């Protein structure tokens, strides 16, 4: 018999409040930024706040991962050592890391997860990362089902994949656009999101092929209908993007995927099981398009040449399509595209019949599709307490003792006072033990056996409190942690590759690569003295020409309305495009070629 594979729903958290709500709504784990070195600099949290999340999460066997996933500068090494030590002491389950210098820090044996910033796209890279001692690997977002499966067959640690949320157009960890243009490094959590800018696309003869279009802005990922396929190819952790998203987003999207994962587990209990505990009750119907989205895509999941994956008209939220304006309420926000295909948004003040009165004068184009980008009634609902999560607690009552055991397998025995009087009439005490108040438990099985004594109500109240308090304490002391795996010092970096050129910003990271067979190293752009010479600032599987139906490999020269090379212009910023058709990817270069 093969044990069912534990499946993890991993939720983002900008802060402790959102992290706790994510767990209440069904997350098996959360990832959250510590005070520094998280890849979302504006979503950092104090160690004390993260401890509050840990204390709550571990009650349900849910895990907390801290994102120490930026590159680290030489003068920050000791600071990061202290930070990781603090996170280990408060019970954080794992560190999500990009900088391999962490492997040479003097830190406790906390588990390490390889960030998506490590750009793991091949089985060779995944094997190498596993050999370094990482316990879980976050794969690149661009992979197909077949590519994921090829990686799964080569490694033994869990695979983590993004299933929902914003997409970076560049390979993660390989985008230097923000650093070069604005001095804000994506590898330091300060991305300026240049990919969301509007551009003109211009050819070699200065012909403008596209004007004012967001040609690098991708739609949002939504793999809700593909989870079972992802499980079949080996994914064990489903990750939701969004450490900058608000509370209502996290509640809604976590609840959405919790329901779907539970359906799959219920259909295949011999294959899969939950990786945390607790019955989740949600009092709303989750809907993906109620939350921020730029439209949805499966991205590259099915093949390496998808179409319709960009949101070129706007990088803003599209919300949900409204077919009937009577559904709108005072205070809703709506958007539409005008006759120039420009995005317009406004607040609804009143709806009269089919007439919308907004907070400004506007003309709704004929046959325009209305999107509701802000649903005031939904937001009011989401601001309330919308979910609870409780552990099943079984109680057995005997004349000499009470035995209690929760669904995690944590059990205690409490003696019954020997001087209790016999009950004049034996009645069921189940209703009394169901009164578990605001604790994290609900009563499951209750056995009264041969119990014949009389227990005063005050004593029953004390016994209930003693049971729940002791179970909680014992649950914390018996919580099972994962720990850092042993590094294979003989593992060699990817075959046929002897030099490494990206994201090495300290001597410890350099040492790791040298010890594993890399012979030539170029320092990270962020610490390089030759930033001016950087040409390729972004590499992506997204191809502007393929999206336009003008793929260079499939479109004859006679049917193209442009001449190479092409460039993107946004204000004074100019980027040339280079098409690597052999590998079906596009490079964005600084300046005009």
pLDDT digits (tens, 9 = 90+) for 421-478: 888 888 899 999 999 988 999 999 999 988 888 988 999 999 999 999 999 999 999 9
Looking at residue 1, what is its pLDDT?
Answer: 55
Sign of the torsion formed by the C-alpha atoms of 108, 68, 277 and 416: positive
- pLDDT of 534 strictly over 90: no
Average pLDDT over residues 560-565: 91
Of 267 and 525, the one with more pLDDT = 267
**Are the C-beta atoms of 275 and 292 separated by less than 8 Å?**
no
- pLDDT of 497 strictly over 70: no
Q: How far apart are CA 71 and CA 525, in angstroms?
A: 11
- pLDDT of 363 strictly over 80: no
- pLDDT of 561 strictly over 90: no
**Structural domains in the chain plus CATH codes:** 5-167+218-284 (3.20.20.70), 310-383 (no CATH), 391-477 (no CATH)
Average pLDDT over residues 151-170: 98
pLDDT digits (tens, 9 = 90+) for 99-145: 999 999 999 999 999 999 999 999 999 999 999 999 999 999 999 99
Pairing of strands 235-240, 159-165: parallel
**Are the C-beta atoms of 511 and 500 separated by less than 8 Å?**
no
Q: Helix, strand, or coil here: 137? A: strand
Looking at residue 49, what is its pLDDT?
Answer: 97
- pLDDT of 48 strictly over 80: yes
pLDDT digits (tens, 9 = 90+) for 291-338: 999 999 999 999 999 999 999 999 999 999 999 888 999 999 999 998
Q: How far apart are CA 16 and CA 527, in angstroms?
A: 33
Looking at residue 530, what is its pLDDT?
Answer: 62
Beta-bridge partners for 70? none
- pLDDT of 368 strictly over 90: no
pTM, rounded to two decimals: 0.96
- Show contacts of 497-505: CB within 8 Å, 24+ apart: 502/173, 502/174, 503/71, 503/98, 503/99, 503/117, 503/173, 503/187, 504/71, 505/71, 505/72, 505/73, 505/74, 505/99, 505/101
Percent of the chain whose predicted confidence (pLDDT) is above 70: 97
Looking at residue 522, what is its pLDDT?
Answer: 84
Average pLDDT over residues 475-489: 96
Q: How far apart are CA 49 and CA 90, in angstroms?
A: 10
Looking at residue 248, what is its pLDDT?
Answer: 97
Mean pLDDT for all residues in the chain: 94
Looking at residue 481, what is its pLDDT?
Answer: 97
Judging by beta carbons within 10 Å of its beta carbon (0-12, 13-18, 19+), is residue 419 exposed, middle or buried? Answer: exposed
Average pLDDT over residues 36-49: 90
Looking at residue 501, what is its pLDDT?
Answer: 66
Beta strand segments in 166-316, E: 199-202, 208-213, 220-222, 235-240, 272-274, 279-282, 296-297
Query: How many angstroms from the chain centroid is the CA of residue 568?
Result: 31
Q: How many CB atoms lie within 10 A of CB 283?
A: 11
Cα end-to-end span (Å), the chain: 61
- pLDDT of 18 strictly over 60: yes
- pLDDT of 531 strictly over 60: no
pLDDT band of residue 500 (cuts 50, 70, 90) is low
Looking at residue 425, what is its pLDDT?
Answer: 85
pLDDT digits (tens, 9 = 90+) for 572-586: 999 999 999 999 999
- pLDDT of 532 strictly over 60: no
Percent of the chain whose predicted confidence (pLDDT) is above 90: 82
Length of the chain measured in residues: 593
pLDDT band of residue 289 (cuts 50, 70, 90) is very high
């Amino acid at each position: 018999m093969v044990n069912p594979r534990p499946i993890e729903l991993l939720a983002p958290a900008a802060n402790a409040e959102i992290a706790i709500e994510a767990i209440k709504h069904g997350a098996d784990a959360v990832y959250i930024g510590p005070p520094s070195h998280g890849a979302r600099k504006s979503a950092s949290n104090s160690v004390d706040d993260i401890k509050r999340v840990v204390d709550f999460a571990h009650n349900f066997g849910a895990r907390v991962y801290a994102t120490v996933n930026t590159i680290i500068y030489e003068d920050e090494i000791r600071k990061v050592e202290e930070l990781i030590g603090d996170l280990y002491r408060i019970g954080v389950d794992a560190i999500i890391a990009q900088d391999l210098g962490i492997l040479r820090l003097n830190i406790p044996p906390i588990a390490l997860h390889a960030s998506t910033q490590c750009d793991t796209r091949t089985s060779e890279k995944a094997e190498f990362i596993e050999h370094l001692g990482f316990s879980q690997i976050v794969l690149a977002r661009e992979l197909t089902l077949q590519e994921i499966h090829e990686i799964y067959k080569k490694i033994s640690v869990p695979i983590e994949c993004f299933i929902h949320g914003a997409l970076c157009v560049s390979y993660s960890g390989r985008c230097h656009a923000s650093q070069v243009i604005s001095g804000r490094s994506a590898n330091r959590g300060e991305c300026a999101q240049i990919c969301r800018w509007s551009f003109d696309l211009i050819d070699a003869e200065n012909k403008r092929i596209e004007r004012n279009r967001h040609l690098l802005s991708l739609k949002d990922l939504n793999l809700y209908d593909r989870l079972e396929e992802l499980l079949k190819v080996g994914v064990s952790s489903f990750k939701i993007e969004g450490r900058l998203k608000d509370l209502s987003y996290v509640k809604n999207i976590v609840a959405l995927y919790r329901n779907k994962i539970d359906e799959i587990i219920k259909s295949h209990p011999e294959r899969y099981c939950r990786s945390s505990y607790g019955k989740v009750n949600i009092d709303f119907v989750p809907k993906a398009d109620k939350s921020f989205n730029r439209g949805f895509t499966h991205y590259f999941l099915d093949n390496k040449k998808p179409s319709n994956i960009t949101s070129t008209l706007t990088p803003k939220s599209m919300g949900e399509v409204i077919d009937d304006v009577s559904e709108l309420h005072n205070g809703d926000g709506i958007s539409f595209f005008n006759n120039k295909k420009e995005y317009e948004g406004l607040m609804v003040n009143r709806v009269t019949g089919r007439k919308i009165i907004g907070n400004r004068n506007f003309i709704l184009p004929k046959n325009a599709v209305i999107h509701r980008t802000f649903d005031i009634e939904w937001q009011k609902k989401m601001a309330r307490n919308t979910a609870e999560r409780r552990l099943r607690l079984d109680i057995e009552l005997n004349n000499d003792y009470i035995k209690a055991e929760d669904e995690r397998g944590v059990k205690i025995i409490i003696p019954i006072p020997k001087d209790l009087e016999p009950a004049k009439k034996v009645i069921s005490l189940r209703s009394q033990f169901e009164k578990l108040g605001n604790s994290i438990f609900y009563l499951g099985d209750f056995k009264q056996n041969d119990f014949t004594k009389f227990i005063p109500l005050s004593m029953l109240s004390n016994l209930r409190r003693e049971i729940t308090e002791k179970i909680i304490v014992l649950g914390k002391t018996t919580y099972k942690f994962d720990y850092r795996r042993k590094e294979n010092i003989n593992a060699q970096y990817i075959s046929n590759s002897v030099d490494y050129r990206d994201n090495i910003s300290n001597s410890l990271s350099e040492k790791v690569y040298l010890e594993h067979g890399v012979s030539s190293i170029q320092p990270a752009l962020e610490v390089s003295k030759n930033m001016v010479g950087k040409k390729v600032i972004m590499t992506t599987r997204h191809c502007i020409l393929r999206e336009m139906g003008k793929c260079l490999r499939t479109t004859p020269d006679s049917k193209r309305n442009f001449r190479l090379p092409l460039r993107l212009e946004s204000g004074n910023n100019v980027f040339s495009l280079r098409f690597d058709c052999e590998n079906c990817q596009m490079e964005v270069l600084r300046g005009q070629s």
